[in-house]
A and B are shown apart, each in its own frame.
Chain A
Amino acid sequence: MNNFTVEAIELTRVYGGREAVSNVSFTLSKGEVLGFLGPNGAGKSTTMKMLTGNLAPSHGSVKICGIDMIENPKEAKALIGYLPEMRPLYKELTVDEYLIMAARLHRVSAKHIKSAVETAKERCGLGHMSKRLIENLSNGYQQRVGIAQAIIHRPMVVILDEPTVGLDPIQIRDIRALIREVGVEHSVIISTHILPEVEMVCDHVQIIDKGKLVFNGAIDVLKKQRVGNKLLISLHNPPAADAMLNIAGVTEAESLPGGLIRVRFAENATPAEAIVQAAVHHGWGLYQIAPDQTSLEDVFMQLTYQEQVAEEQPAA
């Protein structure tokens, strides 16, 4: 008996002969937050629809806490809370009416409905909106109602498709805090385009591109790739790049316009101090030195690009 809350096994979905998602396999354990990254049309939403039983996979299977989604859809669905990309809100109802209905449909027993609705509202900061029509709420509050309906029955797995789209920065911060809070007890899967969000909220990251899983691992791996062993040095009188190579630990130096020099150094070396000393000694006019961070976007680009190159090479 394993402890995986979500197991996706070789999920494939074919749309008219084209594979929208092909051979995606992954597992998720209790208390983990998984971030799903990928460009538009990469298959994020399709994968999520398959995980929640809204779409039948062409091949492969989904298991939620060991229960097969295709064989026992009702039992498996009872363990999932899902917020699709388009919020499934009945706008003619009030927040309370809608949440009570959601609780009932998710088999919350009659005597616990009231407390379940109260808890969900409190967690999503909807307390003072109880009697308002959903139609009259702002975009951000509607999104909160969407999240409240996904967590109302305390599911084992919460699946949120782009939960922070269209929110203001404060709301985004609140929602992120909420996702982390939910992630402590349950497993959470979120999809997003916003890369820093993944770094802030998720433990695990999956990057999907053209229906294939390009990267699957802990967030730390991605972070390490991001920081790299690079320094960016700003000088008033920059020397030739080769002068840098004489400093111990520096393996590569590259001159950039505007008196900048990018220096790559060996693993475990700390050449910063030596560089500063050399700069003072030779009068290079050092005014700034900082670790050169590749943005997460670059890492993302690299990963999706590498995949393309790898694909093309065998063909060549």
Chain B
Amino acid sequence: MIINVARKELKSVFASPMGWVILSLLMFAFGTQYLNGVNDYFAVMSGAMRPAERTGVTQFVGQSVYGLASFIMLFAVPLLSMRLIAEERRSQTLPFLFSAPISLTEIVVGKFLGLVGFLSILIIFIAAMLSTLNIWSDIDFGFIFANSIGLLLMVASFSALGLYFSSLTQQPVVAAILTFVALFALMMFDRFFAGDPNNILANLSLTRHFQTFSGGLIDTADIAYFILFTVTFLTLTVRRLDADRLRG
């Protein structure tokens, strides 16, 4: 049943040009960054004389593309997640889902997976694009894999947060702004504690946990952080929708 809700969400995204436009624009941005990365690699490496200054092409290009991707998702996810519940609430289509034989958890998880499924198209495309480096070079697939997992987990966390804010309001735009501000704060959080990197609060920052992935390291502590973050906001969303049913 979760799958059917996710399919419904994907169908809605692709029913209008919106889904296609977002996919193509984002891929254009990533493609440009990739091309620049490859060009810069030759420019930088030809100037790097000592071996310590030399880095692999995967890391050099990969880091710039994934860095841009995580930054762009900060804008893209709120725009995509805003309509998930707020739009349905505004056009009064929620009773369609509520009176179907599916539980609230299935609705919420289905919507979440629909959005993450859409965004993972981008993640797969980025990974495929970087893998083409392998045609004329010997690249580090582990690095790409770790970054893809990291980006997927981060996008999932963004989506869960966006879904929650979308469930709070009837206005998609309000949901988008709230989501963006909250995500931006969480991303920038560790900057405030730059002088004290071991501060507990700094550990709440999403960027900090993405950093290990972007270095090519898969750390279970960071995986646990992202999963907990996602589950927390999905649970809050279910509770919010349940409150609708109880209090009306």
Q: Could you list which residues of chain A lie within 8 angstroms of chain B, going by C-beta atoms?
A: 13, 15, 49, 52-56, 73-75, 77-78, 80, 82, 84, 86, 88-93, 97, 101-102, 104-107, 149
Give the contacting residue for B99; candidates A54, A92, A93; CB below 8 A.
Answer: A54
CA distance A107 to B102 in the complex (A): 9
Residue pair B101, A107 in contact (C-beta under 8 Å) = yes
Given contacts A97-B15, A105-B8, contact A53 B99 (CB under 8 A): yes
Given contacts A74-B103, A77-B101, A78-B101, contact A105 B4 (CB under 8 A): yes
Least CB distance from B82 to A in Å reads 16
Q: Could you list which residues of chain B lie within 8 angstroms of chain A, going by C-beta atoms?
A: 1, 4-5, 7-8, 11-12, 15-16, 91-103, 245-246, 248
- For residue B97, which residues in chain A have a CB less than 8 angstroms away from its CB? 105
Residue pair A88, B246 in contact (C-beta under 8 Å) = no
Least CB distance from A67 to B in Å reads 11
CA distance A93 to B93 in the complex (A): 13
- For residue A104, which residues in chain B have a CB less than 8 angstroms away from its CB? 4, 7
Least CB distance from A123 to B in Å reads 19
CA distance A13 to B245 in the complex (A): 12
- For residue A75, which residues in chain B have a CB less than 8 angstroms away from its CB? 101
Residue pair A88, B11 in contact (C-beta under 8 Å) = no
Least CB distance from B219 to A in Å reads 39
Give the contacting residue for A15; candidates B1, B7, B94, B248; CB below 8 A.
Answer: B248
CA distance A86 to B91 in the complex (A): 8
Residue pair B11, A84 in contact (C-beta under 8 Å) = no
CA distance A56 to B92 in the complex (A): 18
CA distance A149 to B94 in the complex (A): 14
Residue pair B5, A90 in contact (C-beta under 8 Å) = no
Residue pair B93, A88 in contact (C-beta under 8 Å) = yes
- For residue A89, which residues in chain B have a CB less than 8 angstroms away from its CB? 93
Q: Which residue of A lies closest to B103 (CB)?
A: A74
Least CB distance from A103 to B in Å reads 10
Least CB distance from A29 to B in Å reads 22
Give the contacting residue for A55; candidates B5, B100, B245; CB below 8 A.
Answer: B245
- For residue A53, which residues in chain B have a CB less than 8 angstroms away from its CB? 98-99, 245
Q: Add 8 more A-B contacts to A88-B92, A88-B94, A90-B12 (CB < 8 A).
A: A56-B245, A73-B103, A77-B100, A86-B92, A88-B95, A92-B15, A106-B100, A107-B1
Least CB distance from A190 to B in Å reads 16
Least CB distance from A85 to B in Å reads 9
Give the contacting residue for B101; candidates A56, A92, A93, A106; CB below 8 A.
Answer: A106
Residue pair B102, A105 in contact (C-beta under 8 Å) = yes
The list of the 8 closest CB pairs from A to B, nearest first, reads A88-B96, A78-B101, A86-B92, A88-B93, A105-B100, A82-B99, A92-B15, A77-B101
Least CB distance from A142 to B in Å reads 12
CA distance A257 to B248 in the complex (A): 52
- For residue A102, which residues in chain B have a CB less than 8 angstroms away from its CB? 96, 100
Residue pair B245, A80 in contact (C-beta under 8 Å) = no
User: Can you list 21 residue pairs at the A/B interface with Cβ under 8 Å?
Assistant: A49-B95, A52-B95, A52-B98, A53-B99, A53-B245, A54-B95, A75-B101, A80-B99, A86-B95, A88-B94, A88-B96, A101-B8, A101-B11, A102-B100, A104-B4, A105-B1, A105-B4, A105-B8, A105-B100, A105-B102, A149-B96
- For residue A80, which residues in chain B have a CB less than 8 angstroms away from its CB? 99
Q: Which residue of A lies closest to B93 (CB)?
A: A88
Residue pair B101, A54 in contact (C-beta under 8 Å) = no
Least CB distance from A26 to B in Å reads 20
Q: Which residue of A lies closest to B18 (CB)?
A: A92
CA distance A89 to B97 in the complex (A): 11
- For residue B92, which residues in chain A have a CB less than 8 angstroms away from its CB? 84, 86, 88
Residue pair B245, A77 in contact (C-beta under 8 Å) = no
- For residue A55, which residues in chain B have a CB less than 8 angstroms away from its CB? 245, 248
Q: Which residue of A lies closest to B110 (CB)?
A: A105
CA distance A90 to B94 in the complex (A): 10
Least CB distance from A25 to B in Å reads 21
CA distance A127 to B238 in the complex (A): 38
Least CB distance from A112 to B in Å reads 15
Give the most central of A75, A90, A91: most B CB within 10 Å: A90
